[in-house]
Structure 1
Amino acid sequence: MTVHPSLQNYADAWTHSIEAIAELVGPLVEGEWNRATPCPGWSVRDIVSHVIGMECEMLGDPRPIHSLPRDLYHVQSEFARYMEMQVDVRRHHTAPEMTSELEYTMIRRARQLRNENRSPDTLMRAPLGAEQTVEVAYRMRAFDAWVHEQDLRTALNKPGNLDSPGAYVARDVLLQGLPKVVAKEAGAPANSAVVFDVHGPLEFLRTVRVDSDGRGSIDGSPSLGPLVTLAMDWETYYRLACGRVRATAVPDRIKVDGDTELAAAILREFAVTP
C-alpha cells in the first residue's frame, strides 16, 4: 500500500530534505565533518548522526547501549540526553562510515514509507517512551529533517531550499508554538494582538490574539490595532524560533513597531524547539 493521503505531504517533505542532506555531505572530506553548526554543541557529523539515529528509531531499531560523557555542556535535560545518545555513539565514525549508514538508512526508510499501511491516528512510540500518532511522527520527522538540512547548509555555506516542501511544514510547526510565546511566556496583556509579518522565500502574516482570560490564539487576519508588529525575513524567523540565533545578534533583520518592551519579551522567548 502507499502512504495515507494525509501523510503524503510529510513523506514528500522528508524525502526532499533527507536527499538534500545526503547530497550536501556526500562530497565532504574528513575534516569538514567536524565543522560547527548553528545547532548548539553539534558538528556536521553530529547532525547527520542525529538524523540517522532518529530514522532508525522510526524503523523500530533498538537504541544503542552507550554511556554519555559527563562533560557535554549542551546536554541539560533528559530530552537532550535521549537525543545525544544516537549522536555520541557515532562521534568517532569516519566519513565513509557516516555516508554509507545514511544511505542505507534512507533506503530502509523509503521502503517503509512505500509500505506504510497504518492509519494516521495509530499510536506509536515517541522519544522518552511517550506515545504519538503516526501523523505527528511523520510531521516531526519532516520538520526535523528540514531544520537540520538548514543547519548543514549554514555550516557548509551552501544556502538553499528555504521554500522547499519541508519549509512549509516547519512554518506550520513553529507557528503552533507562537500563541504560548506571546500570551504566556512574554505576558502580553488580555484583549491584545501581536502581528508577525514575515517576508522572503516564504511569506506569511499571522496575528496572535490574547483573549480576556489571557489565552492566545493565532489566525491569518490582520489586526487594526496591534500592540506590536514584528517584521522579519523567513530565515531569521525560523532561526529565532529554532533557537539557532538570539534576536540581540540580528537586530538589523527585525523591525519592531509598537510596544518595544513587549516586543523584547516576545523575542527573548521566541525559541519553541526543545
Structure 2
Amino acid sequence: MNHTAQSFADRAAQFTLVVRGVEGRWDASSPCAGWSARDVVAHVIETQRDFLGQQGFDLGLAPDLGDPGRAWAEHAEQACDILLQDGVAEREYDGYFGPTTLGATMADFYGWDLVIHASDVARATGQPWSVDEEQAAALTATADGWGEALYSAGICAPPLEVSDDASPTDRLLARLGRDPDWSSEQQS
C-alpha cells in the first residue's frame, strides 16, 4: 500500500475509534465554537467528499448525517477504497501549496484534519485524547508548512500561550488556537 494512503487510513481508523466512543452525545458542544460533535463529523465528511469530488471521483449520494457514526463509517470506507485504487494516491495535481499528489493531500491535510478533529469530538464527548511527542512534532511541522494560511478564516484561531512544561498534546492544541483546558463540562 502507498505510504500516504496508509497514513490516511491509519488516521481514519483513529478517528473511527473516537466516533465509536461518542455513545449518543452527538449534540454536545465541541471546542470548535458553535459546533457540536455532530457538526465536526459532518464537516470532516463534507470536506473530504468535496475534495475527492473535485478530483473527479463519483461518491454518489452523501451519507445520511442523521446517524453520524454510520455516515462516517460509510464515508471512511469509501475514501480509503478510492485511495487504494491503482495509481490514485500517486496521482499528481496542482494543490493550494503547489504540485502534490492525491495521497499526500489526503494524508497530510485531510488526515491531519482527522487527528485534530478527533480531539474536538473526544473532548466534546468526554473521551480521553492525546498525542505523544513524536506525533505532536509531526503535526506541528505539517501545520508550520502552511504558514499564515493556517490562521485563515475557518481554519485555526491564533495560537494560545501555554506553560513551558505543557504536555505535547497541550502544546499542539494551543498552537492551533484551541484551549487545552477546554472541557465539555464547562459548556453545560
Pairwise TM-score range, normalised by the shorter structure: 0.5 to 0.7
Change (3 A) 1:110 1:167: farther
Q: Secondary structure at the match of 1:245?
A: coil
Task: State, as a whole percentage, how many aligned pairs show the same letter.
Answer: 17
Alignment gaps of 5+ in structure 2: 151-161, 183-188
Q: TM-score, normalised by structure 2?
A: 0.66
The structure showing larger relative contact order (alpha-carbon pairs under 8 Å, at least 6 residues apart) is 2
- Cα distance in structure 2, aligned partners of 1:41 and 1:12: 29
Shift of 1:123: 0.7
Q: Select the structure of larger CA radius of gyration.
A: 1
Q: Find the counterpart in structure 2 of residue 244 from structure 1.
A: 178
User: Is the CA contact 1:143–1:169 (under 8 Å) kept in the aligned structure 2?
Assistant: no
- Cα distance in structure 2, aligned partners of 1:168 and 1:244: 17
Q: Find the counterpart in structure 2 of residue 114 from structure 1.
A: 84
Shift of 1:143: 0.6
In the alignment, structure 1 residue 33 sits paired with structure 2 residue 26: yes
Q: How does 1:48-197 map to 2 (within 5 A)?
A: 48-60=41-53, 93-94=65-66, 96=67, 98-118=68-88, 120=90, 122-123=92-93, 133-134=101-102, 135-163=104-132, 167=136, 169-176=138-145
Shift of 1:238: 1.3
Q: Secondary structure at the match of 1:136?
A: helix
User: Is the CA contact 2:132–2:169 (under 8 Å) kept in the aligned structure 1?
Assistant: no
Q: Secondary structure at the match of 1:244?
A: coil
User: Is the CA contact 2:19–2:121 (under 8 Å) kept in the aligned structure 1?
Assistant: no
Q: TM-score, normalised by structure 1?
A: 0.48
- Cα distance in structure 2, aligned partners of 1:8 and 1:165: 20
Change (3 A) 1:179 1:58: closer
Change (3 A) 1:109 1:178: closer
Q: Secondary structure at the match of 1:53?
A: helix
Change (3 A) 1:164 1:45: farther
Q: Find the counterpart in structure 2 of residue 46 from structure 1.
A: 39
Equivalent residue letter for 1:49: A
Greater share of helix: 2
Change (3 A) 1:166 1:145: farther
Of 147, 169, 181 in structure 2, the residue corresponding to residue 235 of structure 1 is 169
Greater share of strand: 1
Change (3 A) 1:120 1:113: closer
Q: Secondary structure at the match of 2:166?
A: strand
User: Is the CA contact 2:133–2:168 (under 8 Å) kept in the aligned structure 1?
Assistant: no
User: Is the CA contact 2:5–2:106 (under 8 Å) kept in the aligned structure 1?
Assistant: no
Q: Secondary structure at the match of 1:34?
A: coil
Of 16, 32, 35 in structure 1, the residue corresponding to residue 13 of structure 2 is 16
